[in-house]
Every structure is written in structure tokens, then in C-alpha cells.
């Protein structure tokens, strides 16, 4: 018992004489630092410490085991600068301290990590192709890279681009539709070194009001430009040389691209006589571009066709030309609500060719040979201007107006040596004027529903004159004259309702249109009036169409229909003949698509349609179209029925073309 009391007394005396150091440790925002180390040293620089404790949640309390005259207290915490405090005259039983640590910044040497950039990135319905991954350094224009992309095909003659088998709607610059359907102007002329990515977009919609609502199945490409490289850029290419039959060969091509906050513009100027077509219009091979194909049902047709320039080699080897082409495209963004786009075109060319046609016939054991040696010069000239105005009348509505005006003049003088003995000369003059305008208003009535109202007007005036010397139809006459005037007016108004529910989308349209196509022709020479035509054709439709897009997992099922009340009226004014026809037309269609995986799909389609005959086949009496041929027709308003079936398997190996 005495021994126990002695030990307790000794411990009590020791505790009373020991000193206690308490402290708080905070950061610059007066927040407690969760953990820190506290060292007690006799000398500041000494590597050894006398005593040690740990601060937790910003607080520590330590009983010194010895008596010190002075003592250094060092506080260390991860991410903070070390704090040192010197205590002198340690004659106080309890010492309270407060430490505030400062954040420590560590500057590391520069570390450069290099890796090969992925050739493409898939984000929802957009594939972003990195230009560098599909370029070997030999490409100068962006079209040369586009045609290397997987799933993309480029028509070298027209510049038309197809993606996954579908015609590309447009090629945009950083999301702006600068070129419209004539996007080959950009793809053939924009330099590779200013484009960072080419984005292939499924389910493209230019109208921002309809995003998430419309499912038109359109595809487009977007050229994403490099930052800081395209405020103003351009190039000038010049090629000079000599040709065997000419004094010189010339190829000049220049373009300027301007981009800033309010204006985005692209202009090009070219001149060449070596068979290159820098324009989107093909006067040599008669290939129709995307825009011309879409307008085919509206335009008047040439009754007297220009001579086809048939060739087995590519155009640059056979096209003897002298082309001058100028173009200016611009988008002006006046404010977030209003933007105006303008496109201007001018083209002048002189195309020459020599063609020899030889035919041998055997009729009832008798042989007959014919030959035509034809020397043709074709002189096209085109003026065109486009205007597009977009005005956001509110956050949920958009008003658009489009206007296109074109005047095209083509002169085609021709010399023909027939059967190596008879010589003829002809001169064909074609003037083609058209005006196209469309007013469209889009209103978003809820998050998933929208309405559209549109008015469309198209007018086309197409007069032609053909002269052949000497007369083919009367040996006493010097010249045969064939004159024709074909006009076409189309007016349409329609309303469209678009909606989406979950992943399903549907569209219903109701509308009416009227087409008026009068035609007059006269074939005559100095001695007689040989043939005349004068007909008036009218066609009207009241229609309702609908399509429902059912999207479920990997399946897309799209049934559609068209119901029309069709009225046709044809009057042959010279013969006093009238034909009329009224039809109720139902046209169903079904498209089914199964996505096997992210790069392949299987699709099938069925369609039934009823179409009218083309207006250019409604004249009764003969029309002279060249030195050997006159044509006439037996007009009929009977509908042409057609059924279509299709099966498609598509696979897109995205890594196939990456370099």
C-alpha cells in the first residue's frame, strides 16, 4: 500500500512540473487542416527532433517530456509550406499556439505527351473525320480528301457527293450553308490546310426550329475550319503552256475565303482552255447536278436538244473549251434574328468538237451505209442570282424567303457533211429564263410539335430557234426554220404538321398545286409553212401525304402514303381537240431498315406510284430537231403505273481509308 501511494505521488509531481503545448492549425481561409505533423527541435537545421506529435482536424496537444530553455516547433502538412516557430523561456505551464499555413505551389518541368490522333470520332448521328488522318500530303483541295472517306462517293464530273448511298444535301462551313446545292464550288476550291475536320451528319436539318422533330433522312457534310487560320485566306493558281493546235494553253483559278463575326463569303474567278470545268454546271457531258435533278419536274424541257458530245475518255482529254467563270457567295448576319445569303454566278464558254458517225445496215440482203461528219461549236452563257432571307420572328418561329433568277443563252453553230457528199450547216439558239421563289414559315407549337406553311412559285420561258441550210424538206428553199416556245408555270401552297413522340416521328402534309404548260412551234421555209403546233396543258393536284417513322432499338419502320385528286386538261388549239382526265390516286410505300451494328445496316423498300406523261410529248405535228430527224407524238393523258422494290446491305469500314 505504501509503495502504491509513493508511485502515485511521484506521477503527480512529474505531471505538475511538465509543460503542455496546445495549438490550432488552419489554412488561409481559416479552415482546419485535417492532418499535420508537429516536430520539436533544439536546433532549427538539425535533422533530429526531440519530440513529435500529430495534429488531427486542425488541433494538437502535447506534453513535453523534458524541460527546455528554448524549442523550435516545426509544422508540416501536405500541400502547404512549412511553418517554424521559436519558443523561448519555457516557464509557463500551458502554451497556446495558432498556426496558419500557406498553400504551396510546385512548378514542374514541361511534360509533352504525344499520341496518334484518332482518325474519326462518332458522336450520336455525326462522324467526325480528322483531315490529317486521311491525307498523305499530296492533296490540295478538300474534295481530294472527301473522296477518300469511308462511305463517301464523289462524282468527278458533277461534283455530287453521296454518303451511305444518299446524295449529300449540302456542304456547310462551320455549320453555315454558304453554297446550297452547288457545294462543288467549295469542295473543288477550298484548300486542305485550312480544314481541321470533315463531319458527316445523318438526319440533317438546316432549320434549327425542327431539330429533334424532323426526321427527313437527309445527309450533309460540314467542314470544320482551323481556328485562327481562316479570317482571310485564298489562293491563285496559274498554269501556262502550249498546245499543238493553239498558240497557248491557259489555266487560271483563284478564290478568296473571308470569315468573321458578321460575314462569311467565298468567291472564285477562273479561266481555262484545257478542258477543265471549274463551275457546277456541265455543258459538255450533260450531267445534271443535284439542284437540276430536284428542279426537273418544274422546268420546261428543250424540244430541240443540243448535240450530245459522246466520248470514251474523260472530259479533260476531249473537251476543247475556252471557259470564263466567276462566282460570289456570302452570308451576312446582321443580328441574331436576321441573316441574308446571296449567290451570284456568271459563266461563258466556247466548246468545240468533231464527231464522225458511220452506220451500216443490212435490209433484205441489201446493204446501206450512212455517215455524218459533224463539227460543233457550243457557246453557253449564263447569268444567275440567288437570294435567301432568314428572319427569326420569335424564339419559336422562323420566316424564310428564297429567290432564284437565271438567264441562260446557248448558241450552237454546226457543220455537217452527210454521206461524204452533202454539206449542211445549222444554227441552234436556245434562251432559257427561269424565276423560282418560295416563302416558308415554321412555327414550333410545343417542344415536340411544329407547323409549316409554304407558298412556292416557278416560272420558266424556253424559246428555241433552229436553222438548217440548205433546206432538207424542199430542194427549192434555202433554209429550214424550226421555232418553238415552251413555257411552264407552277404554283403550290401547302401546310405541314411535324411531331415526335419518344423516338417515333411523323409528318402530315395537305396542299394543292397548279401547273400550266403552253407550247407553240412552227416549221417553215421560204416556200411553205410545213408544220405547226399549239397546245395548252394544265394539271392540278389536291393532295395529302403522311409518313410515320417508327424507331425501336435497331429497327426503323417507315410506312408512308400519298392521296391525290388529279385533274389534267389538254387542248390542241389548231385541231380543236380537247382531252381531260380526272383521277383519284393512292400511292403507298414502305421502308424498313435494320441496324446490324454501328457501321452496317440492312434496308428494304416497296413503293407504288402513278405518274403523268411529260409535257414535251404532247405536241401532235412534226418538229425538226436535226439534219436527219423530225419527231411527233400521239398525246395521252393516261397515267403510268410503276412499282419499285429494293434491297440494300451497307457496311462502312471506318478504318479502311485512314492513313
pLDDT tens string 63-84? 888 888 888 889 998 888 889 8
Q: What is the mean pLDDT of residues 531-550?
A: 96
Residue 13 above 60 pLDDT?
no
Residue 154 above 80 pLDDT?
yes
Instruction: Enumerate residues 6+ apart whose C-beta is below 8 A from 652.
Output: 150, 151, 164, 599, 600
User: Of 150-154, 217-221, 291-295, 398-402, where does the model show the most confidence?
Assistant: 398-402
pLDDT score recorded for residue 16: 44
Q: What percent of the chain has pLDDT over 70?
A: 93
- Is residue 469 within 8 A of residue 425, CB to CB? The reply is yes
pLDDT score recorded for residue 229: 56
What is the distance between the alpha carbons of residues 213 and 369, in angstroms, rounded to a whole number?
64
Among 204-208, 468-472, 600-604, 645-649, name the one with the lowest average pLDDT.
204-208
pLDDT score recorded for residue 313: 64
Residue 491 above 90 pLDDT?
yes
88 or 484, which is more confident: 484
pLDDT tens digit sequence for 34-43: 899 998 888 8
- Is residue 38 within 8 A of residue 23, CB to CB? The reply is yes
Summary count for the chain: helices (H), strands (E): 5, 33
User: Of 160-169, 251-260, 363-372, 393-402, where does the model show the most confidence?
Assistant: 393-402
CB neighbours of residue 98 within 10 Å: 10
Q: Do domains 11-100 and 120-230 have the same CATH topology?
A: no
Nearest alpha-carbon partner for 277 in 375, 193, 380: 380
What is the distance between the alpha carbons of residues 473 and 521, in angstroms, rounded to a whole number?
17
Residue 15 above 60 pLDDT?
no
Instruction: Enumerate residues 6+ apart whose C-beta is below 8 A from 560.
Output: 545, 546, 547, 548, 588, 589, 590, 591
pLDDT band at 90 (very low <50, low <70, confident <90, very high): confident
- Is residue 351 within 8 A of residue 284, CB to CB? The reply is yes
pLDDT score recorded for residue 637: 95
pLDDT score recorded for residue 653: 72
Torsion of CA 172, 173, 178, 179, to 10 degrees: -60
- Is residue 132 within 8 A of residue 120, CB to CB? The reply is no
What is the distance between the alpha carbons of residues 109 and 91, in angstroms, rounded to a whole number?
49
Which top CATH class is 11-100? mainly beta
For 632, the 3-state DSSP assignment is coil
Instruction: Enumerate residues 6+ apart whose C-beta is below 8 A from 203.
Output: 125, 214, 215, 216, 217, 218
Q: What percent of the chain has pLDDT over 90?
A: 44
CATH T-level fold of 120-230: Ferric Hydroxamate Uptake Protein; Chain A, domain 1 (2.170.130)
Per-chain mean pLDDT for the chain: 87
pLDDT tens digit sequence for 427-465: 999 999 999 999 999 999 998 999 999 999 999 999 999
The whole-model pTM stands at: 0.77
Residue 3 above 50 pLDDT?
no
pLDDT score recorded for residue 115: 61
pLDDT band at 17 (very low <50, low <70, confident <90, very high): low
- Is residue 415 within 8 A of residue 373, CB to CB? The reply is no
pLDDT score recorded for residue 145: 92
How many angstroms separate the Cα of 130 from the Cα of each of 225, 228, 234, 516?
Answer: 11, 18, 22, 50
Instruction: Map out the domains of the chain as residue ranges.
Output: 11-100, 120-230, 470-659
pLDDT score recorded for residue 47: 80
Amino acid at each position: 500500500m505504501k509503495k502504491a501511494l509513493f508511485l502515485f505521488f511521484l506521477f503527480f509531481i512529474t505531471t505538475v512540473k511538465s509543460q503542455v503545448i496546445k495549438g490550432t492549425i488552419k489554412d488561409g481561409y481559416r479552415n482546419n487542416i485535417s492532418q499535420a505533423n508537429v516536430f520539436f527541435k533544439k536546433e532549427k537545421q538539425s535533422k533530429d527532433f526531440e519530440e513529435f506529435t500529430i495534429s488531427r482536424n486542425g488541433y494538437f496537444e502535447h506534453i513535453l517530456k523534458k524541460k527546455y530553455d528554448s524549442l523550435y516547433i516545426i509544422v508540416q502538412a501536405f500541400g502547404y509550406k512549412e511553418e517554424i516557430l521559436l519558443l523561448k523561456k519555457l516557464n509557463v505551464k500551458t502554451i497556446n499556439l495558432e498556426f496558419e499555413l500557406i498553400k504551396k505551389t510546385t512548378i514542374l518541368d514541361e511534360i509533352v505527351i504525344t499520341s496518334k490522333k484518332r482518325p474519326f470520332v462518332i458522336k450520336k448521328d455525326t462522324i467526325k473525320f480528322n483531315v490529317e488522318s486521311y491525307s498523305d500530303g499530296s492533296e490540295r483541295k478538300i474534295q481530294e480528301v472527301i473522296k477518300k472517306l469511308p462511305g463517301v462517293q464523289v462524282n468527278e464530273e458533277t461534283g455530287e457527293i453521296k454518303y451511305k448511298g444518299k446524295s449529300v444535301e449540302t456542304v456547310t462551313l462551320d455549320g453555315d450553308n454558304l453554297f446550297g446545292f452547288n457545294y462543288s464550288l467549295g469542295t473543288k476550291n477550298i484548300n486542305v490546310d485550312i480544314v481541321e475536320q470533315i463531319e458527316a451528319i445523318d438526319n440533317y436539318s438546316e432549320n434549327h426550329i425542327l431539330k429533334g422533330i424532323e426526321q427527313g433522312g437527309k445527309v450533309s457534310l460540314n467542314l470544320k475550319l482551323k481556328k485562327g487560320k481562316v479570317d482571310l485566306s485564298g489562293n491563285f493558281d496559274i498554269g501556262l503552256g502550249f498546245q499543238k493546235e493553239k498558240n497557248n494553253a491557259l489555266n487560271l483559278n483563284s478564290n478568296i475565303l473571308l470569315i468573321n463575326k458578321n460575314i462569311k463569303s467565298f468567291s472564285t474567278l477562273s479561266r481555262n482552255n484545257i478542258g477543265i470545268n471549274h463551275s457546277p454546271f456541265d455543258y459538255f457531258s450533260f450531267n445534271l447536278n443535284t439542284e437540276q435533278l430536284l428542279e426537273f419536274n418544274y422546268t420546261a424541257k428543250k424540244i430541240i436538244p443540243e448535240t450530245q458530245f459522246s466520248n470514251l475518255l474523260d472530259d479533260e482529254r476531249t473537251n476543247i473549251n475556252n471557259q470564263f467563270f466567276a462566282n460570289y457567295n456570302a452570308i451576312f448576319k446582321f443580328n441574331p434574328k436576321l441573316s441574308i445569303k446571296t449567290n451570284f454566278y456568271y459563266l461563258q464558254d466556247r466548246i468545240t468538237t468533231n464527231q464522225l458517225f458511220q452506220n451500216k445496215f443490212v435490209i433484205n440482203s441489201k446493204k446501206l451505209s450512212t455517215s455524218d461528219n459533224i463539227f460543233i461549236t457550243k457557246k453557253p452563257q449564263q447569268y444567275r442570282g440567288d437570294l435567301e432571307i432568314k428572319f427569326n420572328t420569335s424564339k419559336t418561329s422562323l420566316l424564310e424567303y428564297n429567290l432564284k433568277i437565271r438567264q441562260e443563252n446557248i448558241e450552237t453553230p454546226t457543220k455537217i457533211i452527210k454521206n461524204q457528199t452533202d454539206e449542211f450547216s445549222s444554227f441552234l439558239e436556245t434562251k432559257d429564263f427561269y424565276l423560282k421563289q418560295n416563302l416558308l414559315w415554321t412555327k414550333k407549337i410545343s417542344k415536340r410539335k411544329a407547323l409549316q406553311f409554304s407558298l412556292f412559285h416557278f416560272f420558266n420561258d424556253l424559246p428555241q430557234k433552229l436553222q438548217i441550210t440548205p433546206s432538207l424538206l424542199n430542194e427549192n428553199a434555202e433554209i429550214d426554220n424550226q421555232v418553238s416556245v415552251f413555257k411552264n408555270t407552277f404554283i403550290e401552297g401547302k401546310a405541314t404538321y411535324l411531331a415526335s413522340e419518344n423516338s417515333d416521328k411523323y409528318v402530315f402534309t395537305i396542299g394543292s398545286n397548279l401547273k400550266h404548260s403552253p407550247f407553240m412551234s412552227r416549221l417553215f421555209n421560204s416556200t411553205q409553212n410545213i408544220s405547226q403546233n399549239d397546245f395548252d396543258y394544265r394539271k392540278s393536284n389536291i393532295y395529302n401525304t403522311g409518313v410515320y417513322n417508327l424507331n425501336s432499338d435497331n429497327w426503323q419502320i417507315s410506312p408512308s402514303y400519298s392521296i391525290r385528286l388529279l385533274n389534267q386538261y389538254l387542248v390542241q388549239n389548231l385541231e380543236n381537240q380537247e382531252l381531260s382526265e380526272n383521277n383519284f390516286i393512292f400511292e403507298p410505300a414502305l421502308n424498313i431498315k435494320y441496324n446490324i451494328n454501328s457501321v452496317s445496316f440492312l434496308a428494304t423498300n416497296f413503293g407504288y406510284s402513278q405518274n403523268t406523261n411529260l409535257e414535251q410529248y404532247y405536241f401532235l405535228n412534226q418538229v425538226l430537231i436535226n439534219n436527219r430527224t423530225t419527231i411527233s407524238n400521239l398525246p395521252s393523258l393516261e397515267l403510268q403505273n410503276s412499282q419499285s422494290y429494293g434491297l440494300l446491305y451497307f457496311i462502312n469500314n471506318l478504318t479502311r481509308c485512314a492513313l
